[in-house]
Amino acid sequence: MTLRLSLAALALLLPGCGLVLDAASPSDGAELDAGLGIDASEPGADAATSVDADTTRDDAGGEPVDCADVGDGVECATSPRFICLHGSCALSFCGDGFVDRGAGEACEPEGDTSCGVGCQRQCVEDTDCESANPCVASTCVDGRCASEERVGACPLGDGDDGTCAGGVCRPTGCGNHEIEPDRGEECEGTPVDGCVGCRLACHANLDCDDGDPCNGIERCERVVSETTGELLGRRCERGEPVVCDAGDDCHTARCVADGARARCEQVAIDRDGDGFLDCEDCDPTDPNIHPGAVEICNMADDDCDGMVDEETGSAVWCLDRDGDGYGDPAMTRTSCERPTEGAWVRDCRDCWDSDRGAFRARAALVHPGQTAFFTSAYMREDGTSSFDYDCDGAETPEHDRVVECERVGLLLCEREAGWAEAVPDCGASGRYATCLPGVLICASRTSAVTQGCR
């Protein structure tokens, strides 16, 4: 689509630009039109402003210029400058894709990285790229300034000379990136490169020896540049520690230094110090239990013969009134034979044992090793209550987490469950949330739950 405006309207749109109309009017007295339009179908005209050829004049005689009959670049209107471009009269500007020599343009930025501000080259001669840095040489290459680092001496000021290193004029000496043997320098790297104070960290393997052969033989290794292969320095590298294997369960092996050599030494294992090696002892942590020990009535195989409490005197038995397999530590008898009257057991760890009516069934649930959780406490005969069903001395809640259902990815919600607010006490109710996976948002389902404990 072409937008058409009169030249008078164009003059208003471009104030101060000096758009001049031909003083001669058309013979029929009609207003001279000037078409100002953007036609995306015309090559090169997507960002150009064009003027109809039948209303434009040349500079010399004021005669109309027909852009269909001339090449690109011919001026077809002035103030501002219009040129013929792809058969139309278009506004000439830097960035229109056409190098308008008549407007002083030397290049166009599109596709030309050397084209700078105002469609001018960044440089023409080397002098256009001169740098005040004595350690950087700049030249003009294909219209662009190219820089490279200089090497050698450079002025530091106050009459002193330095050395160019890394594009910077540095004082002569260690740290100027140039090895100066006359100053005793051997390298110009970092401690990581094995260069310390411009001296190599080591020269031979002996310089790295720590005197302990068990942790391996230390070596003085060369450090070279991965790009140039240049020697950066020398640094000490650790050796491989000596690994000793005992070969059986009765001994352990350790490395010991024998002068400059390392050797493995076996050490017998007897952790409880009863004179029997761990591999021979049926309980290597108890010095009273070992082969040949005196068997006593203690529910243990004291002499390591595979039998418990044989030929012994007595043992402690506890009465199990609720039948849960655990006895009341307050109700005991001493004997190596199980008492015949009542239910007696050797495990005396029950924290509540009772055979009184309704109490007995509840007491049978209270014993060490209980894995279930309960929402109500048990009541003892003395009127005290507790949620400690597993007799570990603590009331352990079944659910002790508080969760917030949050998205952990673009379309992922973490599936978890926990209390929506604070963790309620044992036997108290609270809102329990289950986080559900969803798309974009995370949902949750809550319900009233009573806190169980054991």
* Interatomic CA distance for residues 206 and 208, integer angstroms: 5
pTM, to two decimals: 0.34
Q: How many CB atoms lie within 10 A of CB 7?
A: 21
* Interatomic CA distance for residues 313 and 123, integer angstroms: 111
- Residues 255, 264: contact at Cβ < 8 Å? yes
- Residues 35, 52: contact at Cβ < 8 Å? yes
* Interatomic CA distance for residues 72 and 43, integer angstroms: 12
Task: Please report, in tens digits, the pLDDT of each residue of the chain (454 residues total).
Answer: 333 333 333 333 333 333 333 333 333 333 323 333 333 333 333 434 444 444 455 444 456 788 988 889 999 988 889 999 989 999 999 988 899 998 889 899 888 888 888 898 888 888 888 888 888 988 888 888 888 888 888 888 777 788 887 788 888 778 777 888 888 899 988 899 999 989 999 999 999 999 999 999 999 999 999 888 889 999 999 989 999 998 887 888 999 998 888 999 988 889 899 999 988 899 999 999 999 898 887 778 899 998 877 666 667 899 999 999 999 999 998 877 788 888 999 999 999 999 988 899 999 999 999 999 999 999 998 999 999 999 999 999 999 999 887 655 555 677 788 998 899 999 999 999 988 876 666 778 889 999 999 9
Dihedral sign, CA of 304, 305, 307, 313? negative
Q: What is the DSSP letter of 101?
A: G
Alpha carbon 256 to its chain centroid, in Å, reads: 42
Q: How many CB atoms lie within 10 A of CB 355?
A: 15
- Residues 291, 284: contact at Cβ < 8 Å? no
Q: What is the DSSP letter of 220?
A: E
* Interatomic CA distance for residues 290 and 300, integer angstroms: 11
